[in-house]
Chain A
Amino acid sequence: MYIAFMQAFDYVNATTIEQAVAVMYREGDMAKPLAGGTDIIVQLREGRKNAKVVVNVKNIPRLAGLDWAPGGALTIGAATPMHLIYGNAPIAAAFPGLMDAFSLVGGTAIQGRASLGGNLCTASPAGDTIPALIAHNAVCVIAGTSGWREVEVEKFCVSPGRNALQRGELLVEIRIPANATGAQKFGAAYLRFIPRNEMDIAVASAGVSVVLEGGKIVKARVALGAVGPTPIVAIEAEKALIGAAVDDAKAVAAAMAAASTAATPISDMRGTLAQRKHLAGIMTKRALESAISRAN
């Protein structure tokens, strides 16, 4: 059997956060956490990343699993694989906008291993979960040698492939608030554009959420994927929607234009700059329509 080259590394099977964090502090960038491994193993094999130590974090109890009560916030352990999240029927029903994204990461076999934390930490500009998490106002809970901190998902990605984690820090869980109470209704959706119907990477994507009250949009989030070095929050698009009636076509057009303007894409083999700016608007419109219908 021909085995492609993979660099040699040590393997640490961490069972506590403290243990994982200690190794990662000691080795810095040369320590890589391993959950599902669907990104890191490929990156190591292809020489795109280097590691001296790979730290398995799946066996740390707090990183594996879900915590949710109806009407409340959802907490997802960073190493929880996608299928355990969207396969949980009550949670999937309560957070359809998240499930749009979680069920898109790879094929079924990949979803059995690929974790939410891994998708987030890979910090791909085209990462499918990230715009959806931003639309849900999700927060990263991070442990480190000097204590714990929280970072909003929209601030977690800093450049292609780079995240906000510092030396010795570990993403422990992702917390998603309930986002609406009382008379307010929350709805969200994530949509991406791919040339094929599957097995593809987003050319442009949008995660949109709205909070509706009395037929009006009182809060809106618009996050764009694959149209910049990191996922982009289209603040002007959000402003165009807030206060508008749900059927205000002018507001939708303004949001589309603002999303296109906010997009700062490159041209590459997946699409051109002009195409991506155009698609940022189209995906925003379509995700918005879906988010509104889910909120109603």
Chain B
Amino acid sequence: MTTDTVAIGKRPIRHDGVDKVTGRAQYGNDVKLAGTLYAHILRSAHAHARIMSIDTSAAGELPGVQAVVTSADMPDLSKNTEVINDGEGEGGGLAYMSQNMLARGKVLYHGHAIAAVAATSASIAEEACKLIKVDYEILPPLLSTCDAMKDDAPIIHAAMRTEEAGKLGDKPSNVAKHMQLKRGDMDAGFAEADVVVEREFFTKMVHQGYIEPQATTVLWKQDGTLSIWASTQSPWGVRREVSELLQVPQGKIKVTPTEIGGGFGGKLDVYLEPVAAILSKKAGYKPVKMAMSRADVLMATGPTSGSWIKVKMGVKKNGEITAAQAWMEYEAGAFPGSPVGAGMGVIFGPYRLPNVQIDGYDVIVNKPKTMAYRAPGGTNAAYASESVVDELAEKIGMDPLRLRQLNGAKEGDRRVDGPTFQRVGYLETVQAAINSPHYEDGLAAAPATNIKVGRGVASGFWFNWGGKSSCNAAVNPDGSITLSEGSADIGGTRTSISMQLAEVLGIGVENIKPAVVDTDSVGYNDATGGSRTTFGSGLAAFEVGTKIKQIMIERAAKFWEIDAKDVTLVRGVFKNHSKQMTFAELAAKLDETGGQVVASAATDGKGGAPAFGTHVVDVAVDTETGKVQILRYTAVQDVGHAIYPPYVEGQIQGGVSQGVGWALHEEYFYNDKGLLLNASLLDYRMPTALDLPMIETILVEVASPNHPYGVRGVGEVPIVPPAAAVANAIHNAIGVRVTNLPMSPGEVLRALGKI
């Protein structure tokens, strides 16, 4: 890309850096209001049970308790059919979302919220919860798509009928939705193939593992307005969801996003805010703070689906893939809305396919309602398809990257889910992987006879999104610019958005003062999610910068008493023949040229510019213990245009780290009663720094045609290939395909036949 930039592509100090490294940044749980009450939630001890009665009287009488609530204190929305879409993954019905806040009639998973208490201390609130008596009629839990889809399976939601091609089925079912994508002739496609491979894959529910648990403070005031402070990816989403769930107009709600310690999709929807709100009102309009423990987060927020996926693919000896078919069953959790639809788009995303059929099922089970997790539904989908692609390459004796080159999607090819690709950089990532030092180097020697080493590759696709953004900018007398924006800053977007504003004006990004403001202080912004923020909010910054630039040129013209068309702005300097003036010099003269300069922009970014990645990994497998070590990892990605390269590299490394955790260790471990046994970070094993090598990144820049600076979203696609790449490397090392995630030591030992 062009290197003649003032801000873009540089590596400045991030705007939020000092506050974060000094501990001064205010996260969700740092909000302190005078007179705050502390709340605690009583959660279900069972996976599936009817609530026969709830007696909160003893809790209400405990000194210090100010309010106790159950679902009876919330509007009954059980008959409401409205769908709330969080902007990523599948939307959930409002009725279901209401039931997920506080159980109504039945508890549907271990940890499902039943009641909440606000008290003068957190200890009293917790003690009071122990005094709430719940009578349950325990029902059998359904813990897999296989069990939930059996003909005689107990029905979790009595009214549920399977939605299929826009119609509802005629009998109760645990399948919320069946979707199908199809084109070409499957039989002819498979008949043409020289090799057909069909494999089944099981994956477990996994969690985003953001480090900051959900936390909120809510004040319902006597005038009927609500102030909400929340750790969220979506301030306007919180506003809308609270509005809908509590039937309060959106205009009466103000949401202030705090700093956010990670989200990865898991902080798009509300869990605590509506409950804290009704406690606040019931306690007499006092602020109520709620913060989850780690166990709460793991039990009762939104992990991503466990799944069963079957993939069948055919290939000719010359490497041409002739047909591809997939059956995908995703656990939605207790309420509809798994990311199976997105998974269907990802599963064969990198390929040009003449004959393809994908069937996807959104299946209710007695586990927490799933929520978006970084490229939702993509990692497990690619694990299945990219393992099969690897096997096709092996069976026809072709280098697996060569096979991808022959079949890779490019501009003009039609995606399985409909749209035609504009300019995309998939083939460029494959070529860069082939040319990488990693792929050119041989494998490291095994240090002992029980250790086997191997290499794997895999590719991944993610849609990316544009979405709506708004921002306000004001020029200060010293030439700095205050930028008020509304995108919760998870991945360093204050800086990547500011850099685009700075670039338009030709000034350094240190002159931009970005602030993430509340929902009353700037126009609507979609969530920080879908890899959209640097793209979509960057567009708003570009537009507001363009407006400021035009106004400032007019001011310079006025000052010089010439025509505006005779003034240029180049690298932050206004010029007219021999006359020139810096941006800061003009900013100091605003009062003389017509007063303050402000602008705002509201944009809706279309064509979010899909991203592709191709990963190469070397592993060492201890064949006696089944333990897999990652020896070397290289992630190649089409990043469009790296606005802030360190963040882009960090996003890729972060996605790979989570993907490796999913590949090797992470899983929701339920007993046969449906109780989650590993709701702690001791036994829910995310990788530590000691479990990963330095992850090398190779940034390929194929500019997006839909953005003035060529931006593509970069945050999600790096989590798509890792599980498949690691599986393929394990196969290369030990000659066995591991088809269950996680590929934990026990799973590898089983695949080896050692246990």
Contacts and interface: CB of A to CB of B under 8 A. Distances in A.
A3 B755 contact: no
Interface string B549-576: 0000000000000000000000000000
A261 to B, nearest CB: 15
A278 B622 CA distance: 13
Interface stretch (A170-178, A194-202, A227-235): A194-202
Contacts of A5: 122-123, 126-127
Given A195-B627, A196-B685, A282-B625, A4 B691 contact: no
A193 B126 CA distance: 37
Contact of A197 (B624, B683, B690): B690
A2 B291 contact: yes
Contacts of B687: 196
Contact of A275 (B38, B126, B682, B746): B746
Contacts of B754: 278
B316 interface: no
B666 to A, nearest CB: 10
Contacts of A278: 749, 754-755
A60 to B, nearest CB: 31
B669 A269 contact: yes
Contacts of B215: 2
Interface string A253-296: 00000000000000011111011011100100000000000000
B745 interface: yes
Nearest to A197: B690
Interface in A48-71: none
A197 B685 CA distance: 11
A196 B665 contact: yes
Contacts of B637: none
B690 A2 contact: no
B625 A2 contact: no
A198 B690 contact: yes
Interface string A199-218: 11101000000000000000
B122 A3 contact: yes
A7 to B, nearest CB: 9
Contacts of A282: 624-625
Nearest to B124: A5
Contact of A195 (B29, B291, B745): B745
Contacts of B625: 193, 279, 282
Interface string B200-244: 000000000000000100000000000000000000000000000
Contacts of A269: 669, 677-678, 683
B289 interface: yes
Interface residues of B, number: 33
B744 interface: yes
A279 B687 CA distance: 22
A272 B122 CA distance: 38
B748 to A, nearest CB: 10
A158 B215 CA distance: 42
B755 A274 contact: yes
A179 to B, nearest CB: 29
Nearest to B683: A269
Contacts of B665: 195-196
B682 to A, nearest CB: 7
Nearest to B32: A1
Given A196-B688, A198-B690, A203 B755 contact: no
A275 to B, nearest CB: 4
A129 to B, nearest CB: 18
Contacts of A6: 123
Nearest to B125: A5
Interface in B325-349: none
Contacts of A4: 122, 126, 293
B119 to A, nearest CB: 11
A44 to B, nearest CB: 13
A202 to B, nearest CB: 12
A270 B749 CA distance: 14
A268 B677 contact: yes
A174 B744 CA distance: 37
Interface centre among B122, B629, B678, B746 (most CB of A within 10 A): B746
Interface in B118-177: 122-123, 126-127
Nearest to B746: A275
Nearest to B665: A195
B257 to A, nearest CB: 19
Contacts of A2: 29, 38, 122, 215, 289, 291
A128 B487 CA distance: 47
Interface in A1-34: 1-6
B301 to A, nearest CB: 17
A291 to B, nearest CB: 18
A196 B29 CA distance: 30
Contacts of A279: 625
Contacts of B744: 195
Contacts of B127: 5
Contact of A196 (B289, B293, B677, B690): B690
B755 A275 contact: yes
A268 B678 CA distance: 10
A193 B626 CA distance: 10
Interface string B676-716: 01100011010110110000000000000000000000000
B351 to A, nearest CB: 34
Nearest to A201: B682
Contact of A203 (B126, B669, B678, B745): B745
Given A3-B122, A193-B745, A278-B749, A199 B755 contact: no
Contacts of A3: 122-123
A119 to B, nearest CB: 16
Contacts of A196: 665, 685, 687-688, 690-691
Contacts of A270: 683
A203 B627 CA distance: 12
A153 B665 CA distance: 34
A240 B678 CA distance: 38
Contacts of B682: 199-201
Given A3-B123, A4-B122, A275 B624 contact: no
A278 B749 CA distance: 9
Given A2-B289, A269-B669, A200 B685 contact: yes
Contacts of A201: 682-683
A272 B746 contact: yes
A201 B629 CA distance: 18
A289 to B, nearest CB: 11
A277 B754 CA distance: 11
Interface centre among B122, B126, B291, B624 (most CB of A within 10 A): B624
Contacts of B669: 269
A3 B401 CA distance: 53
A15 to B, nearest CB: 31
Interface in B241-292: 289, 291
Given A268-B677, A271-B746, A275-B749, A195 B685 contact: yes
Contacts of B291: 2
Contacts of A200: 682, 685
Interface of B: 29, 38, 122-123, 126-127, 215, 289, 291, 293, 624-627, 629, 664-665, 669, 677-678, 682-683, 685, 687-688, 690-691, 744-746, 749, 754-755
Counting from the closest, the 8 A-B pairs by CB-CB distance are A269-B669, A197-B690, A274-B755, A5-B126, A5-B123, A275-B746, A269-B678, A2-B291
29 contacts: A2-B29, A2-B38, A2-B122, A2-B289, A4-B122, A5-B123, A5-B127, A6-B123, A193-B625, A195-B665, A195-B685, A195-B745, A196-B665, A196-B687, A196-B691, A197-B688, A198-B688, A198-B690, A201-B682, A269-B678, A269-B683, A270-B683, A272-B746, A275-B626, A275-B745, A275-B749, A278-B754, A282-B624, A282-B625
Given A195-B665, A271-B746, A275-B755, 17 more contacts: A2-B38, A2-B289, A5-B127, A6-B123, A193-B625, A195-B627, A195-B664, A196-B690, A197-B691, A198-B688, A198-B690, A268-B677, A269-B669, A271-B745, A272-B746, A278-B749, A279-B625
